[in-house]
Amino acid sequence: MPSEFELIARFFARPCDAEPGVVAGPGDDCALLAPSAGSELAVSVDTSVVDVHFPQAAPAVAIGHRALAVALSDLAAMGARARWCALAATLPEADEAWLESFAAGFHALCRRSRVALVGGDVTRGPLSLSVTVHGEVPAGRALRRSGAEAGDILAVTGALGGGRGGLAAWRDGVRDLDDPLLRAYLLPEPRLTAGEVLRELAHAAIDISDGLLADLQHLCTASGVGAALQPEVLPLAEGLTARLGEAAAREAALAGGDDYELLVALPPEALNEAVNRLQTLGLPLTPIGRVVGEPGIHGIDDSTRPTGWQHFPGGTP
Ligand SMILES: [Mg+2]
């Protein structure tokens, strides 16, 4: 196996000292970064583990994209502008064709999201990718989970259930990355631009990584409110009903997880502007209910209430 330094030099190091805010990129013990004046740093880390978060046989280009995308989604949820990232990769072997494809997927999303890869680490072991992302938000203006108010409209970007539907498509043998469900699962798009737009309009936001119901509950708990949901109006991912059938498609949209869309709570008077501004980004924003004062999620039949993804069900979150 080539050394860690050879792997980093060949597949991951990209000159980034010319990138905005990068005082020194890889090559010293730390990267040195200069946040913009008047901003706060938003920092998040996400680990993607083989056969837990993605199938071992998934295309390497998609694994590279996805590892970064799920981390960037948390910046989008706070309305932060993505700036820098670092990658810690644990690899079972140094398969050069695999690494080239993985790095292509990772770097392509870096370029599109204007994120500089400023550091990294390669170790040997079962395939696992940890991505730390740094974003910036004007001081005091981050979109928090805790700002929802009774009377707010709840709305979601894009469509729901694609993560679960794409996993089902993969298990059914679909391998074409142009398939809309497989794309939603393996090539999710972090809603960074939408997050920055919504930061100016919404009271609260969260990204839907654990499933709509679970993440709505997180938002409600943080805000000390409840929600009246209209499950019949949820926007379903393209091809979802055909793949799963009507009932399972509705459950996937409610609780499937891995959707990486944004759930926001907006004052009613801001809804039209939010819909129109996201429309210019080609992204639908669909109202799905309202924030209410009474805690709990209302509008869902308790006997069929699905639960969101948990790594350690029953344990402390
Ligand atoms: Mg999140």
Give distance in angstroms: CA of 103 to centre of ligand 1. 24
Which residues make Cβ contacts (< 8 Å) with residue 11, sequence separation at least 6?
99, 100, 102, 103
Ligand 1 centroid vs 1 CA: distance in angstroms? 35
**DSSP code string of 188-255:** ----HHHHHHHHTT-SEEEE-SS-HHHHHHHHHHHHT-EEEE-GGGPPBPTTHHHHH-HHHHHHHHHH
Name the pLDDT band for 306 (thresholds 50, 70, 90): low
User: What pTM was computed for the model?
Assistant: 0.93
What pLDDT digit, counting tens, does each position of 64-120 carry?
A: 999 999 999 999 999 999 999 999 999 998 899 999 999 999 999 999 999 999 988
Question: 210 CA distance to ligand 1 centroid (A)?
Answer: 8
Ligand 1 centre to CA of 308 (Å) is 13
Report how far ligand 1's centroid is from the alpha carbon of 82 (Å): 15
Query: Measured in angstroms, how far is the CA atom of residue 9 from the centroid of ligand 1?
Result: 31
How many angstroms separate the alpha carbon of residue 96 from the centre of ligand 1? 32
Identify whether the C-beta of residue 289 lies closer than 8 Å to the C-beta of residue 243: no
Å from CA of 221 to ligand 1 middle? 15
How distant is the alpha carbon of residue 239 from its chain centre? Answer: 21
136-173 per-position pLDDT tens digit: 999 999 999 999 999 999 999 999 999 999 999 999 99
Task: Write down all domains in the chain, each with its CATH number in brackets.
Answer: 4-138 (3.30.1330.10), 145-298 (3.90.650.10)
What spacing in Å lies between the alpha carbon of 32 and ligand 1's midpoint? Answer: 26
The CA 3 to ligand 1 mean position distance, Å, reads: 34
Helix (H) or strand (E) holding 180: helix 180-186
